[in-house]
Structure 1
Amino acid sequence: MSLRQFEYALAVAEAGSVTAAAELLHVAQPSVSQQIRGLERELGVELFARTPTGLVPTVVGRAFLREAEVVVSAARRARATARAGADQLVGELVVAVQMGFGTRQLPGALGALRRRFPRLEVTVFEEPSSAELERLGRRGVLDLALMAACEQTPDDAHHLGDEEFVVVLGAGHPRLAADRVELRELEGEPWVRFDRDSALDGVLLEVLRNNDLAPTTAARVSQTATAVRWAAHGLGVTLVPASAVPHGHEHLVRPVFPAVSQPVIAVLRHAAGPAETALLELLRKETWSEPVGPAQSWVAPPSTANSAPAV
């Protein structure tokens, strides 16, 4: 097996067909077909099922592709490290962020990183599920992750600061007259909530339970910006990290009492390279909130995994 075969198999899985994968890879279609057939022949299994809508990974294929992704990511990092000069870095840096975290701080840090290393390509994605973040970390596909502390947080994790949560109210809501909102004053309010398996919905549900509030659901959304905008239009109230409030909605936001916050943890992959180390130092220089007052500091429940994320 070769690295090229791994890359071709991943491209076919992403594109859904040999033709589309060839275009993605900028190679001839027969070359992709030959590599996939050779790989399946060597492994003695069928990696893709041929369907009317294209190629779909089989059960065995999905398991193989998970490992192939780890190998390809490691190879990319190895190439980047080998090519890195004293003042230059090339290659790809993969960053995952728990949804709503670092919205204000990450752009500044990444901008500074880009100015320092203009040939470095950065891929950033928000992940709503803390369990999925841990899974990605264990697979070795992340270079750096920003997440909340959990009971299995790695010993070498770096505490950057705390993320304060705020309530977003609709325009004209009577509680906007106050400087802060007591959570119990929101009894009976409908809530704009998040996906059921998301970390943010876990925070909200725990806060409501701790304050004897019924989780009346007006709607569920997948993005913090959507939750804020829907709350602003009176669909319900919502609770989000302060840094995730979009510009133009600050006047509809109030701190809550008891205060709610989460520690923001940066977790680097094992044997971190110069790119992620540089990003960590830039993130440290950004302004992060201090722990909030007598806060209800919500900590993620223990993962069902056997070990902490080895990001």
Structure 2
Amino acid sequence: MSLRQFEYALAVAEEGSVTAAAELLHVAQPSVSQQIRALERELGVELFARTPTGLVPTVVGRAFLREAEAAVSAARRARATARAGADELVGELTVAVQMGFGTRQLPGALGALRRRFPRLEVTVFEEPSSAEMERLGRRGTLDLALMAVCERSPADAHHLGDEEFVVVLGAGHRLLATDRVELRDLDGEPWVRFDRDSALDGVLLDVLLENGLTPATVARVSQTATAVRWAAHGLGVTLVPASAVPHGHEHLARPVSPPVSHPVIAVVRHAAGPAETALLELLRQETWSEPFFAPPPGLIPAIGTLGIHPGR
């Protein structure tokens, strides 16, 4: 038996099919099938029942998969701590970010981490869904997650700060004349929202309902930068973390009243290694909870200089 076989079996159990597991692992489908058959032959048991709806772990398979997951997690920790010392850290680090949070802070922390440990391989991806983040964390796929909400124990969750939310308005919008937008003044505005199961859309919807506003949704997007750019073109207004406003669009963002903020939490895996610990400390050193200030009217650039063309 090999760790690769364990990883293949865990992926098949997670996805419910060899094809989906192969896509997840970025390998050829025949390779996954062959490794699963070889594993079952060596063990002398059937790990998966072939059903019309896909592959389902058998009773023996479920027991095996629990041990396989523990073995894979242990191997990943061993790789991450291999040759760890004062001047060197070699291994892999997988980081997930809930869409829009830590946009300004994470790149700086990761840059410092790579300079300190140049041989450390870091993979970062965005995941908008809170449920999916929780699932990946339980599976042991993530070493560190940067997220807005967390149901983990206090030992795993670390409050880094709070993200202030700002409303982004279209060029020429009447409310750009104010330093802070009253939420009640957004009544009747069309909204650019996010995927239904995303943390950002949950924050937006809660804010609107708490202030007696019913959103008229004109679009749903998957990325904060897209929401900002669409709002800038006048499609509708949107609400995003201040740090997620792309450079060049700050003049279209305004803080809101009542103020809206949300805690940002770093969740590290159980028995965190030196790489996760180092990244967590670097994230703590970043500036969080920084108030957002809109530029004075005299400093607002001309629309054409930013490539924003209303009406197009």
TM range (shorter): 0.7 to 0.9
Q: Does the CA-based 8 Å contact 1:109-1:282 persist in structure 2?
A: yes
> Which TM-score applies when normalising by structure 1?
0.79
Alpha-carbon spacing, 1:270–1:188, altered in 2? closer, same or farther (3 Å): same
Please say which of residues 256-265 and 59-68 is displaced more in the overlay: 59-68
Going from structure 1 to structure 2, the CA distance change for 1:194 and 1:34 (only over 3 Å counts) comes to closer
State the alpha-carbon separation in 2 of the partners of residues 264 and 33 from structure 1.
Answer: 41
The 8 Å contact of residues 96 and 124 in structure 1, kept in 2 or not, is answered as yes
Q: What do residues 162-193 of structure 1 show as CA deviations (whole Å, max 9, x unaligned)?
A: 10000000111110111110000000001011
Give the aligned partner of residue 134 of structure 1.
Answer: 134
Of 31, 44, 47, 2:46 maps to 44
> Which whole-Å CA distance do the structure 2 matches of 1:5 and 1:142 have between them?
20
Aligned residues: percent identity? 79
Kindly provide the amino acid, as one letter, of the partner of residue 155 in structure 1: P
Query: What amino acid does structure 1 have at the position aligned with 2:132?
Result: E
Alignment of 1:165-180 (within 5 A): 165-180=165-180
For 1:307, the equivalent position in structure 2 comes to none
Could you list the runs of 5+ residues in structure 2 that have no partner in the other structure? 13-17, 293-312
Aligned residues of 2:82 and 2:90 also touching (Cα < 8 A): no
Aligned residue for 1:15? 22
1:113-156 deviation line (CA, Å, top 9, x unaligned): 00110111111111212222222222222111112245x45222
Return the alpha-carbon distance in structure 2 between the equivalents of residues 46 and 121 of structure 1. Answer: 33
String of CA shifts for 1:220-271, please: whole Å, max 9, x gaps: 1111111111111111100000011111111110000000001111121111
Q: Are the equivalent residues in 1 in contact too, given 2:82–2:91 (CA < 8 A)?
A: no
The separation in 1 between residues aligned to 2:254 and 2:198, in whole angstroms, is 23
Q: Deviations for 1:61-80, whole angstroms, at most 9, x for unmatched residues?
A: 99788985664343122123
Which residue number corresponds to residue 155 of structure 1? 154
Gaps of 5+ in 1: 24-28, 293-311
Q: Aligned residue pairs: how many?
A: 279
Kept in 1: contact 2:79–2:92 (CA 8 A): no
The question of whether the paired residues in 2 share the 8 Å contact of 1:189 and 1:216 is answered with: yes
Q: How does 1:180-219 map to 2 (within 5 A)?
A: 180-219=180-219
C-alpha separation between the residues in 2 aligned to 1:17 and 1:264?
Answer: 28
**Which whole-Å deviations, capped at 9, do the CAs of 1:85-120 have from their partners, x for residues lacking one?**
332111111111111111010001000100110111
Match of 2:55 in 1: 58
What is the letter of the counterpart of residue 60 of structure 1? P
Question: Is this contact kept in 1: 2:194–2:220, CA < 8 A?
Answer: yes
Kept in 1: contact 2:95–2:125 (CA 8 A): yes
Alignment of 1:1-311 (within 5 A): 1-9=1-9, 10=11, 13-16=20-23, 21=27, 34-41=34-41, 42=43, 43-46=45-48, 58-60=55-57, 71-150=71-150, 152-156=151-155, 157-289=157-289
Contact 1:70–1:141, Cα closer than 8 Å, also in 2: no
Give the structure-2-normalised TM-score.
0.79
Q: Distance in 1 between matches of 2:195 and 2:253?
A: 22
Q: What's the C-alpha RMSD, in Å, of the aligned pairs?
A: 3.0
